[in-house]
Amino acid sequence: MKEEAHNNIITSSSSTNDINFWDNIDLNNNTIKLNCGRYKCLFRDKMNENIGYLIFSNHHTVGIQFQTEAETSYQVAEYMKSNFDIKHLYINKPIQVKMISLPNSYNQTLKGRRWHNKSKKKNKNIPMYYANQYAIVQKIQIAKDPWIIISLPEGYRKLKYFYREKVSIRRSTFTNTLREDTIAAIEALHHIPLLSNDYQIILDGNGNLYQFDIDRVFLGGIYKSHHHFNSTFTKNYDQCMKMLREIMTWSSSSHHHGRSDGNTSTYTFQREKYKSGKEILSQLNENASSLSSCQASEVVGNMSGRIEDTKKTTKTALLMMEDLVDMILPNDPQHEIDNNCSRLPI
């Protein structure tokens, strides 16, 4: 498959063999429930139960929805993997596939979308997919049972229940792996604060933590100005960091580890190393007059999936997105300081 570099964000060409793709998708198994979020659904591979495909909605008739978000999110995942030893479920770069007419049981409508028809009445029947139009597809690994989703506000409690009822491997092996993965998750959250938006990680029976739905850093409804981004972000970030600290402390406690492991030390959380949500926003304000690359501004400006019109997105959120894009972009002499764009005032 031919790949093109566009603004240093790797994109897949639309020359995908669509017929071969749909031959691999299980569309006839009535025992498999189609799992859908607000803007994408998980389809299963026909031959491999460990493989799935997240297909983003293509409800717009112009352009390809969620292309920039999906491609950039894949780069965020790979950046976290390389820099923080984060585990994620993405298998390869997202591709474009032409949608087909789906069986009735697979026809979905957009959830929670504030669309209106010409009479200005809310339209609740906007299809998730339109046939013969391209959609973005992200191939992923399916987490193996047992697993749970760790999220706010009950993540820490769910962990302890999962540990008691579902973990069958040696307990010290589970907690050792969980401890290391939680430390990595804390580092990732510290460097990419927008992960706190709708924070979710998967925990499996071996203690592995997997980041998923990473596109949430670009797709949150929180980014609309009327959702009071600053206060909501601060609350979410601080609660996420608190939950991860609790998990890390619990998994590091010496009573979880057998003597034969030779590992009974407790990891000490360096509180002074990590900023609070309020401190992160304060630092952003201090640096608001600095420059961000034109490339980062263009990438964020092209995100027309869920945030739609970036002019309506709170400027603080846009600056944080631009900072993230700048951080993950490959080093390129063309995007040094002489090619920077002025910041929008907060």
Q: State the pLDDT at residue 254.
A: 52
Q: State the pLDDT at residue 128.
A: 85
Residue 90 has pLDDT above 80, yes or no: yes
Residue 256 has pLDDT above 60, yes or no: no
Q: What value does the mean pLDDT take over residues 3-15?
A: 39
pLDDT in tens, 312-344: 668 888 889 989 999 998 754 444 444 556 555
Q: What value does the mean pLDDT take over residues 25-49?
A: 83
Q: Name, in order, each residue with C-beta under 8 angstroms of 297's C-beta and a sequence gap of 6 or more.
A: 322, 341
User: Comparing 311 with 261, which gets the higher pLDDT?
Assistant: 311
User: What is the Cα–Cα distance from 207 to 146, expressed in whole angstroms?
Assistant: 10
Q: State the pLDDT at residue 12.
A: 43
Q: State the pLDDT at residue 243.
A: 96
Which residues lie across from 332 on neighbouring strands?
Answer: none
Q: How many residues does the chain have?
A: 346
pLDDT in tens, 132-180: 989 999 999 999 999 999 999 888 899 999 999 999 999 999 999 999 9
User: What is the Cα–Cα distance from 225 to 5, expressed in whole angstroms?
Assistant: 33
Residue 264 pLDDT class (50, 70, 90 cuts): very low
Q: What value does the mean pLDDT take over residues 116-133?
A: 66
The beta strands (E) that lie in 190-242 are given as: 200-204, 209-211
Q: What is the pTM assigned to this prediction?
A: 0.83
pLDDT in tens, 289-320: 666 778 888 888 888 665 455 556 688 888 89
∠ at Cα 83 (79, 86), nearest 5°? 80
Q: What value does the mean pLDDT take over residues 115-136?
A: 68
User: What is the Cα–Cα distance from 126 to 139, expressed in whole angstroms?
Assistant: 25
Q: Is 173 helix (H, G, I), strand (E, B) or coil?
A: helix
What does DSSP say about strands 51-56 and 87-88: parallel, antiparallel, or unpaired?
unpaired
User: What is the percent of the chain where pLDDT is above 70?
Assistant: 70
Residue 102 pLDDT class (50, 70, 90 cuts): confident
